[in-house]
Amino acid sequence: MTEPGPRLTEELRDEHVPADGTDRRNEPPGAPPQAWARIDRKRLLIWVGIAFGGPGILLLAVRLAGGGGSSAFSVRSELPVKAVMVFFVSLATWIVSRIEKRSLDEYGIPLGQAFGWRFWEGTVWGFAMLSTILLVLRALGHFQIDSVALAGGAIVRWAVAWGVTFLAVSLSEELAFRGYWLFSMARRLRFWPAALFLSAVFGVAHLGNKGENVLGVVQVVATGLLFCLMIRRTGNLWFAIGFHAAWDWAETFFYGTPDSGLLGAGRFLNSSVRGPNWLTGGSAGPEGSVFAFCVLLLCALLIHLRFPKAIYPDRPI
């Protein structure tokens, strides 16, 4: 991996101070947001070009080859794509961090805490919250487990395979929508306006999933805001990454339900729902249920109680 060109690196590094001579790093916390300078847009465009350009070309190639037309998805089809996306968004974030002379910690990605206690706590929360939705549906007679689909060593193999896959999914989406991009926009808009915008983009990114519905996309936006709350209160992405990975793993592998409109192959349980789509989630899965919104609100309250103080800055310097 090579450094950015020396001319570009020197130019971008030396432009912390805008043309009007105001050093943004010395602004008081309550100062109004500044308009984006040319250098800020240039850095963000570099990041977007690397983070989304490479994976975008790959996904387009896969779609043109006929690999995007099935409503089911598998470890074999999903993991390579998500691994490539993780690579490109990580590369983009690393390059911009070198240009800006910043630690990855400032973007909410402290490598020293990778897969530490906060990550594993997040996995427990993610599995518990998804299970809560299904328990409510089960108690009301709208969800049932029909059979166990795997046996013996296959359970462990598929559990690990889907675990790795959804870790890649979580890393790619959290680094893309709530890493450097969130940091960059929060510097101009403050944290929550930036979080709302990026959560809306996060929802739009799920529109292409077959089987997704309007309520499911709204829940994706709400989930994005919940992830932002986790980041705001814990100070970094690791809790949200663990939550995200465990939620998807429970939804697709453990309970065998659709995930954002996609039904996974190699699931532990076969399950089914009955009732109106707005209540069960229909083809979108449990995250498309109206009860998912209630559980997300409950989770937000619990996060507020568990982590009462905001750690991630409202407007990073």
> How much is the pLDDT for 35?
56
Least confident of 23-27, 77-81, 202-206, 248-252: 23-27
Write down the residue that tokens 């008081």 correspond to.
28
Res 292 pLDDT > 60? yes
Nearest to 132 by CA among 296, 248, 305, 246: 296
- State the DSSP H helix or E strand holding residue 173, giving kind and residue range, or none if neither: helix 153-178
The rounded distance, in Å, linking the Cα atoms of 236 and 240 is 8
Q: Would you say residue 162 has pLDDT above 50?
A: yes
The whole-chain average pLDDT of the chain stands at 85
How many Å apart are CA 184 and CA 4, to the nearest integer? 19
The domain limits of the chain are 6-306
Rounded Cα distance, 49 and 44, in Å: 8
pLDDT at 26: 42
pLDDT tens by residue, 106-133? 999 999 999 999 999 999 999 999 999 9
Q: Which helix (H) or strand (E) holds 25?
A: none
Please, are residues 184 and 92 in contact by the beta-carbon 8 Å criterion?
no
Q: Is the pLDDT of residue 189 over 70?
A: yes
Provide the whole-model pTM.
0.85
DSSP letters spanning 86-152: HHHHHHHHHHHHHHHT--GGGGT--GGGTTSHHHHHHHHHHHHHHHHHHHHHHHTTSEEEEEE---T
